Structure 1
């Protein structure tokens, strides 16, 4: 009887360890995506390369941020990536407005525009 209880407890602890590892990987990816999004919002993006047809991406120091014109007039979508080993990236999004500075544009965060899901109605837009 005691051996059965120890065996059951061992399985329960193994499961808890796997769950803790999954949570740790998710939190690391989430923080990386939040950092990438913040970094992307601070960048200057070339106005002539912004389109509604594709993402313009930049990478630096393990961060990936992308921007594209939104289907909503006057808005841009910015996304930051968090890498999860063996899985698709975790993306965080921010709707923003343009702040013109010569040929490059800065971004101003839209109030309430931070999202953890794709802000475009067409799901294929964010899958690219």
Structure 2
């Protein structure tokens, strides 16, 4: 009798060990999935911050109102360009890889003045080709 109780106890311990291993394995897979998601979100937020910083940096730069297109390198991965449009309108474009942000403005008395209403994360023009970085 004692021998049978010992075997059943050992079988129970092994069963619990196997079930615990399966649960831990599942939790590890879930942790890896969430880790990849958080990493992607973090890179996306970092890229957005670089573009916003470049847009603000470009707003503070001195741009010539005579040139149709002017570009400057902001932080190493970001680029900022100003396009003079018709009707004395101006479009400031900041980009990093495929992420772009825009800010409109106009030429007043020989100076480029950007809109105080902030940036846009969608093209503010009807012609989307004008919103791309050259």
Is the TM-score greater than 0.5?
A: yes
Whole-angstrom CA distance in 2 between matches of 1:114 and 1:60: 17
Matches within 5 A, 1:93-104: 93-101=102-110
**In structure 2, which of residues 23, 34, 45 is the aligned counterpart of residue 16 of structure 1?**
34
1:90 deviates by 1.4
What residue is the counterpart of 2:82 in the other structure?
67
What residue is the counterpart of 2:70 in the other structure?
56
Whole-angstrom CA distance in 2 between matches of 1:4 and 1:125: 56
1:30 deviates by 1.1
**Higher RCO structure, 1 or 2 (CA under 8 Å, sep 6+):** 1
Unaligned runs of 5+ in 1: 83-87
**Residues 52 and 101, structure 2, Cα contact 8 Å, conserved in 1:** yes
1:113 deviates by 4.9
Larger Rg: 2
Query: TM-score, normalization: structure 2?
Result: 0.71
- What is the count of residue pairs matched by the alignment? 114
Secondary structure of the structure 1 residue equivalent to 2:122: coil
**In structure 2, which of residues 84, 92, 107 is the aligned counterpart of residue 78 of structure 1?**
92
Unaligned runs of 5+ in 2: 1-18
**Residues 96 and 113, structure 1, Cα contact 8 Å, conserved in 2:** no
1:69 deviates by 2.3
What residue is the counterpart of 1:85 in the other structure?
none
Secondary structure of the structure 2 residue equivalent to 1:93: strand
The structure with the greater share of residues assigned to helix is: 2
The structure with the greater share of residues assigned to strand is: 1
Change (3 A) 1:39 1:5: same
1:60 deviates by 4.1
Query: TM-score, normalization: structure 1?
Result: 0.74
